[in-house]
Structure 1
Amino acid sequence: MRILHTESSTGWGGQENRTINELVSMRDRGHELAVLSRPGARILERAKELGFPTFAVDMRGAIDLPNILRLRGVIKRFGADIVNTHSGRDTQLAGMAAHTLFRRPRIVRTRHLALPITSKFTYSVLPDHVVTVSKFVENFLVASGVPRERITTVPTGVDFARYDRASMAGHLREELGVSADTLLVGTVAILRVKKGHNEILDAVPAVLQRFPTAHFVFAGDGPQTANLTRRIAVEGLGDRVHMLGLRRDVTNILASLDVFVLPTHQEALGTAFIEAGAMGLPVVATDVDGVPEVVQDGRTGLLVPLQDGAAVAEAICRLLADPVYRESMGRNAAEFVRRVFSREVMAQGMEQLYKRLLERR
């Protein structure tokens, strides 16, 4: 099959990461894949690095006739059997472009987010089928009026070949200039309000009261970078909370941590929890949306109430206080995510769906 992925977002996050993993795993299964996005999009850069054909089209708005024609040209030139769209704008533009072609490709809309939909048209009319990353998102769309028979859930898959705690010690402590036995708590996520970094900062004083030598790290960048940096300075936490910025060495960071924490306010599934679990880390997460599909409370991590810094602190302290407990939980997490959220399982699910749609054509 020839599969073209479209993405109108220029940033980098969980949905772009999933798309890249699908590209690689489907190529491994013998299919031809390409990526189309806006000029300067990070997903184009990553796809090029991995040897995939890429196309840049500036999708300026929902009704953009010149770029619909450009998208039509790319779809036709690539000879796409499947067009998999990932955000609202590219779904509208690429979907309309694909519909103008004779013997058109099948159109799949992948829904990555647990947010209200802005256009039912882009779920019930334009695409032939919708893929959701979790059962929570599937149920959310059904409640919004999208027929369940038009939806298939294919959980996000991760390349676990990169996540081997036994062969990776992690050198973040050396980078920070702290001792080898320092307790390290951290997160890897875009710096947005809804990722819950402020709740982590709410928890820091209580954790330091019980574990005065502990350190915290935030890996990632985003719109809250300046606000979080300012708060850390104002509260005098600069020597214990380290802003690492956007990092490409995520596995090194995870391998260095004792506990992974992300008290997100909304999460369709939570790739960050899958990656942390793959590295054998217990997690502290919020009991919201699709997170319980990834984090088994009391077995692979601890779930806390939404926007509750005190509960975050209590959960972190519970894990830091008992090395045997957290290591056991980390082993459970590694076994669970590798069984359910592998890249190969995701690719198999997507391949079966694509074939089914093409057979109907």
Structure 2
Amino acid sequence: MNIVHLTASTFHGGPERQMLGLAHHLPATYQSMFLSFAEGGRCRQFLSTARHHGFEAVALTYDTPRWWSAVREIAGHLERMGADVLCCHGYKANVLGRIAARRQQIPVVAVSRGWTAENFKVRLYERLDRFHLRWMDQVVCVSEAQAARVRRAGVRPDRIRVIYNAIDPMRFHEPDARYRAKLLRYFRQPRMHVIGAAGRLSPEKGFEVLVKAAERVLREQPCTGFVLFGEGPERTNLQKQISAAGLGQSFILAGFRADLDRFLPHLDLLVLPSYTEGLPNVVLEAFAAGVPVVATAVGGTPEVVEEGVSGYLVPAGDAETMAERICQALSHPDDLPDMGRKGRLCVQEKFGFATQAELYRELFEQLCPEAKTGEAPTALPDETPTAPALSLDDDLLATESTCNN
């Protein structure tokens, strides 16, 4: 069976990891292929990574300003690839992909990870997305919370199913002790505890709340350091807030780190201050690394974090309660390793790629019971302009965050 994923990738982040992880874990009779809108060239990192792993990955020429040309281009690739199912990721893919899939008379699945309402333009697109979801053959939601939002958007319950994000805990099975030393070198003064956070520096992630909480934590735990990994439009505002609060030596904006996986096991605690989430990949990553979490109780996060067992849940936007829970965790350091182990056990039992792939396999075979398996797609013609030889740009790696949901 040939599965084509359509996305608008701007870097190799959480959704991209999910797509590739699923592709690797589906049965050998499945072929997975990827199409991405160019996004000003920012799709290169993901497409290069997909090709490195042996998958066909194509950058599309056309985009929303020429939406009908984009639909025809997508439909042409679906025909050439012998697509049995189209999986759409994100509002642009949902809108244009649905039309293209209908032209080819193949079923279309939308993967709904959540809506950020980041700005007016995004809110407009997300409203359009909610409308188009009603016409999908199936909508896969990454959490029960997102499924409830999709139902409220008017999607029929029988077209909704929950399939959680997944993670490979083996990414963290051999922690590198040198990275604890690297963490501590971010600070000029010795630190007893290091609190981490990671994600795109954008308004919906709520990192300004973490800065406020850090002020309160440092009054009680002055030997604590905070490190925030990631890049995004809010970096300047966050830096100003940190400086104004006098936290310049204690709260570090570390930027994007391609080796974030190496740092995670050496954090004492990870904090997720988001206002909205689908199912946060960074929490799964922290648990896989054996690190407990303090997180806002938004979206699917309460479906992952068990209060008082693997971490603590706090209301969104509540810096005071967030600080209290961080201090509570740091005041009982001997309990942190056990909480981390319970988090790791949680992801091993509920959030593995094998479980995820089996649920997707069942979905695909329900949608295409007559589909042929293992049939190779037609080779991309040499003259086509839609599959440029793209390389992984170092400057792209240096400016994008790996922790979107």
TM-score > 0.5 by shorter chain = yes
Percentage identity across aligned positions?
29
Question: Which piece of structure 1 moves more, 221-230 or 180-189?
Answer: 180-189
Deviation, 1:43, is 2.5
Q: Kindly report structure 1 stretches of 4+ aligned residues shifted beyond 4 Å.
A: 114-117, 178-181
2:203 — aligned with what?
Answer: 193
2:35 — aligned with what?
Answer: 36
Query: 1:180–1:338: structure 2 CA closer, same or farther, 3 Å change rule?
Result: farther
Q: Aligned pair 1:111/2:121, yes or no?
A: no
1:218 — aligned with what?
Answer: 228
SS in 1 for 2:79: helix
1:155 — aligned with what?
Answer: 164
The residue identity in structure 2 corresponding to 1:148 is: P
Q: Aligned pair 1:72/2:75, yes or no?
A: yes
SS in 2 for 1:5: strand
Matches within 5 A, 1:14-163: 14-26=14-26, 29-39=28-38, 40=41, 41=43, 42-61=45-64, 64-101=67-104, 104-114=105-115, 117-125=127-135, 127-163=136-172
Q: Aligned pair 1:258/2:268, yes or no?
A: yes
1:173 — aligned with what?
Answer: 181
SS in 1 for 2:369: helix
Provide the C-alpha distance between the structure 1 equivalents of 2:207 and 2:129, rounded to a whole number of angstroms: 30
The residue identity in structure 1 corresponding to 2:143 is: S
Query: 1:198–1:122: structure 2 CA closer, same or farther, 3 Å change rule?
Result: same
Provide the C-alpha distance between the structure 2 equivalents of 1:62 and 1:342, rounded to a whole number of angstroms: 39
Deviation, 1:109, is 0.8
Query: 1:29–1:154: structure 2 CA closer, same or farther, 3 Å change rule?
Result: farther
Provide the C-alpha distance between the structure 2 equivalents of 1:217 and 1:197, rounded to a whole number of angstroms: 11
The residue identity in structure 1 corresponding to 2:103 is: T
Question: What's the TM-score once normalised by structure 1's chain length?
Answer: 0.92
Output one character per residue of 1:225-282: Cα deviation in whole Å (capped at 9) or x when no partner: 1111222223221211111111111211211200000111101111111111111111
Deviation, 1:30, is 4.2
Q: Which runs of 5+ in 2 are unaligned?
A: 117-125, 372-405
Question: What's the TM-score once normalised by structure 2's chain length?
Answer: 0.83
Provide the C-alpha distance between the structure 2 equivalents of 1:121 and 1:234, rounded to a whole number of angstroms: 43
Q: Aligned pair 1:271/2:274, yes or no?
A: no
SS in 1 for 2:64: coil
The residue identity in structure 2 corresponding to 1:144 is: A
Provide the C-alpha distance between the structure 1 equivalents of 2:178 and 2:323, rounded to a whole number of angstroms: 24
Deviation, 1:29, is 4.2
Provide the C-alpha distance between the structure 1 equivalents of 2:151 and 2:356, rounded to a whole number of angstroms: 22
Deviation, 1:297, is 0.8
Question: Which piece of structure 1 moves more, 132-141 or 114-123?
Answer: 114-123
Residues 292, 339 of structure 2: 8 Å contact kept:
yes
Deviation, 1:22, is 1.6
SS in 2 for 1:118: helix
